[in-house]
Amino acid sequence: DARVTQTPRHKVTEMGQEVTMRCQPILGHNTVFWYRQTMMQGLELLAYFRNRAPLDDSGMPKDRFSAEMPDATLATLKIQPSEPRDSAVYFCASVRGSYNEQFFGPGTRLTVL
Amino acid sequence: QKEVEQNSGPLSVPEGAIASLNCTYSDRGSQSFFWYRQYSGKSPELIMSIYSNGDKEDGRFTAQLNKASQYVSLLIRDSQPSDSATYLCAAASGNTPLVFGKGTRLSVIA
């Protein structure tokens, strides 16, 4: 059963610390999305890659967030330095071909104290 | 700005009833539409996709699309307590990423 995997599942850190979240897309899926979900804002698109190339990261605070896809099996989202307002659930999703039927990973629940 | 609007709910229906969830979208160029179910503390799960006007049925679920009215709906027949979740509507045009609504919380009362 092919699934998107994410690590860690939970992260508690202190303000100012670096946070790295990892995502392994479904094998064969060539487009990877990073989302952030909060009660207030809902699901927000942060960045996405196609064939490992970044297509749009306009949803990310550029000064502290960065997203990379070093190879086809790994996408990373880094926050440095982290702030309490970054507390949210971060989801990775992947899709094969078109941008349509996305499959979500289990998410990383981030708490910044 | 492309938007997808949903009533946040909660929508409460008795067990066995039909639950009707609605969604409107602002981008007339939207071509594909999706319903995701999200249980509390879990990730969104795709349950229905629809691309052309009319109805699409899958088990107890029926998605309805009216592009002229920019309206998408999801009907859940014979609602069960296990259907209690937040339902996210999403729309996309061409190769652009999905635009998600904020979701409608459904509560099925036993």
Task: Read off the pLDDT of residues B53-108 as tens digits, 9 standing for 90 and up.
Answer: 999 999 999 999 999 999 999 999 999 999 999 999 999 987 788 999 999 999 99
Identify all chain B residues contacting A48, using CB atoms and an 8 Å cutoff. 97
CB within 8 Å: B42 and A98? no
Express each pLDDT in A39-57 by its tens digit.
Answer: 888 999 999 999 999 998 8
**Closest by CA position to A21, among listed A32, A29, B44:** A32
For residue A102, give the nearest of B98, B102, B103 by CB distance. Answer: B98
Provide the token pair at B98.
């999905």
Contact B100, A43 (CB under 8 A): yes
**Closest by CA position to A34, among listed A9, A11, A5, A57:** A57
Angstrom distance (rounded) from CA B27 to CA B32? 11
CB within 8 Å: A106 and B43? yes
Burial per residue of B76-85, b for 16 or more beta-carbon CB atoms within 10 angstroms, e otherwise: beebeeebbb
Angstrom distance (rounded) from CA A109 to CA B109? 29
A84 phi/psi in degrees, rounded to 5: -55, -35
Identify all chain A residues contacting B87, using CB atoms and an 8 Å cutoff. none
Residue B43 has pLDDT above 80, yes or no: yes
- The confidence score (pLDDT) of residue B105 equals 96
In DSSP terms, A37 is beta-bridged to A43, A89
Q: Is the Cβ of B93 closer than 8 Å to some Cβ of chain A?
A: no
Residue A100 has pLDDT above 90, yes or no: no
Sheet holding A5-7, edge to edge: A5-7, A19-24, A74-79, A65-71
In DSSP terms, B5 is beta-bridged to B24
pLDDT tier for residue A97 given thresholds of 50, 70 and 90: low
CA angle (A33, A39, A43) in 5-degree steps: 20
Nearest chain A CA: its distance from B14 CA (Å): 26
For residue A105, give the nearest of B43, B95, B101 by CB distance. Answer: B43
Mean pLDDT value of segment A58-85: 94
pLDDT tier for residue A98 given thresholds of 50, 70 and 90: low
Residue A35 has pLDDT above 90, yes or no: yes
Interface mutation vs chain B, best among A21, A48, A100, most B CBs within 10 Å: A100
Residue A99 has pLDDT above 70, yes or no: no
- The confidence score (pLDDT) of residue B2 equals 83
